[in-house]
Amino acid sequence: MVMRMRRKIPVKWIVIAVIVLLAAAYLLIESIIAPSIMSLAEPKLKAIAVSAMNEAVREIIAEGNITYSDLIELEKDEEGNISLINSNTMLMNKLAVDTAAAAQKNILSAGQQGISVPIGTLFGGPIFTGRGPAITVKFEPTGSVTTNIKDELDAAGINQTRHKIYVILNAQVRILIGSASQTVEVSSQVLISETIIVGKVPQTYLQFLGGSDGMLNLLPGSRS
């Protein structure tokens, strides 16, 4: 009886097959899995970025122990009505710059940690969600975080006006999975101070304070 010897597959063909499989897997991840994972991760990553920005505002306000009276000076006439409203533009500018820098740092730190998304989550349903190997999704800020100071005025009673001051932060964040990426915009509005102004506020000031764009524009007077 003659036994036939099996022919060995050349090593080079094995190497080629492995390379082809790896390339196919890479293309699958880049073209199908990565976009789907990004779509699933985007809401959570945006929430993390917003939380990082909010924390930056709280840090700067706490460090400077900043209050409403530090930002705004109200002057009244003999009858107790508002005669002059001054803004501390120097402090507001510093607040905006410091907050932007802190937010940038916080977003970068949070983005480096990222989140893990199990592949099974792509298929949905209780059987697959949260199962399977996880893909780490990270993010990073692109460009600089921008900040604006905004105010709101509304009636709080007879001869009483509620004045709120906010910091608005905007950032562009790049979501990363391997070499794939997607840029999204995140924004947050954080209340930093409010007070009740007692006394009549001249209509000219009301129009001036709560401008059409809502951004704080509290002159004519400015404290430095």
> Are the CB atoms for 164 and 130 separated by under 8 Å?
no
Could you tell me if residue 8 is inside a domain? no
> Are the CB atoms for 199 and 76 separated by under 8 Å?
yes
Q: What is the pLDDT of residues 116-159, one digit of tens each?
A: 777 666 656 555 565 666 677 888 888 889 998 888 888 877 87
Helix or strand (DSSP H, E) at 94: helix 89-113
Its domain, for residue 142, covers 15-223
Lowest mean pLDDT among 79-93, 122-136, 164-178: 122-136
User: How many domains is the chain built from?
Assistant: 1
Mean pLDDT of 59-81: 86
Could you tell me if residue 115 is inside a domain? yes
Could you tell me if residue 102 is inside a domain? yes
pTM, two decimals, is: 0.71
Q: Which two tokens stand for residue 104?
A: 């940038």
Average pLDDT, the chain: 77
Q: Which two tokens stand for residue 79?
A: 């009858």
Residue 42 has pLDDT above 80, yes or no: yes
Could you tell me if residue 2 is inside a domain? no
Nearest CA-CA partner of 107 in 44, 17, 46, 149: 46
Length of the chain counted residue by residue: 224
